[in-house]
Amino acid sequence: MGWWNQFTFVYPWLLPFAAVPVLLYLWNQKRGGERLVSLRLPSTRSVDGLSSWRSTLRPFLPLLRVAALVLMIVALARPRLDLSEESVTAEGIDIVLTMDLSTSMGAQDFDPNRLEVAKQVARDFVSRREYDRIGLVAYAGEAYTKAPLTVDKEIIDRFISELEMGEITDGTAIGLGLETAINRLKDSEAASKIIILLTDGENNAGDRHKPEVAAEIARQFGIRVYTIGVGSGEETLMPSAPIGGGRYRFKPTRGTVDDELLAYIAEETNGRYFRARDTEELESIYAYIDELEKTEIETTVFRRYEEQFARFLWLGFGLLLLETLLRYTVLRTIP
């Protein structure tokens, strides 16, 4: 913000009066130009010696007086610099995004596939959570922490964009993914702790890590879990086997989502289960969670002003004094 934008006036209604001296000067100039006075002299020898620079500068004397009056009127309006400071205190929320990287996330019922859409929607969500700490957990047949809780949204955004199928053993270990996310939050002192767990399948890996047990642990730590089931429910092209170079062979498959399990996890932790059958529904789900989980922000403004009227007043007096001195000394007129 430029310094001029910081200027305020205590009496701004006085500012229009600053135009009066300017208008009077312009009116007088027009009036004077219409009344030209001729002077007959027997000879020009008597004025040949007059200094040309004096005659050039003398018409500028009224401008000095006009500028002085304008500055004085501005001074009366009491200009001041707004040097107020704003202090923002935010009681942020700790959020762990828990993303399914099983090969079924490559299904093409979303464009281009489920994983790419889920990544983009998650990145948009992160960009809106200005004051929150966010972590990232990835899971398939195993689970790992991609990013611990951090306020650095650029890092989270980059890590989400780097998520790829095939990073870890294939499968869908929902319980293990949930436990890994809980470990990131259990020691958090945030007033609100949430997990957003996204999957497109059923729990089929990590037998020792039961999702129901993980949900109970989350509830004990005061962690709320929002679960999202992804998939159209229709037959679609789905990766069936890797063929090397990060590529897969596809075949028509109808995927299934364990709605009952995901709803149980959400209910047990005082969260909510959502079903996303297309991109628009997934976007609206994240938008709903964004609205539901609001960060408490307290803004305190410390008002401080620096008065500027003296500068305008003294500058106006200075120009008026200069105009007077010039008028009655070097630029005086002959009586």
For every one of its 335 residues, what pLDDT tens digit does the chain have, with 9 covering 90 and above?
455 667 788 888 988 998 888 888 888 877 765 444 444 555 555 555 445 666 677 777 888 888 989 999 989 988 888 877 766 666 779 999 999 999 999 999 999 999 999 999 999 999 999 889 999 999 999 999 999 999 999 999 999 999 999 889 999 999 999 999 999 999 998 889 999 999 998 999 888 899 999 999 999 999 999 999 999 989 999 998 887 777 888 999 988 899 999 999 999 999 999 999 999 999 999 999 999 887 665 556 667 778 888 888 899 888 888 888 887 787 776 55
Separation CA 18–CA 70 (nearest Å) = 5
Instruction: Identify whether 335 is part of a domain.
Output: no
For residue 212, give the CATH number of its domain. 3.40.50.410
- pLDDT for the residue 4: 62
Separation CA 101–CA 58 (nearest Å) = 84
- pLDDT for the residue 25: 83
155 and 257 in a single domain? The answer is yes
132 and 202 in a single domain? The answer is yes
Q: In what order do the strands lie in the sheet with 305-307?
A: 7-9, 79-82, 305-307
Dihedral pair phi/psi, residue 255, rounded to 5°: -80, 160
Instruction: Identify whether 155 is part of a domain.
Output: yes
pTM of the model: 0.66
Looking at the 3D structure of the chain, how many domains does it have?
Answer: 2
- pLDDT for the residue 39: 47
- pLDDT for the residue 11: 87
56 and 96 in a single domain? The answer is no
- pLDDT for the residue 163: 97
67 and 211 in a single domain? The answer is no
Q: What is the chain's Cα-based Rg? A: 38
- pLDDT for the residue 277: 96
- The boundaries of the domain holding residue 186 are 89-298
Percent of the chain that is helix, strand, coil (3-state, to 5): 45, 25, 30
Backbone dihedral region for residue 119 (phi beyond 0: left; psi -120 to 50: alpha; all else: beta)? alpha
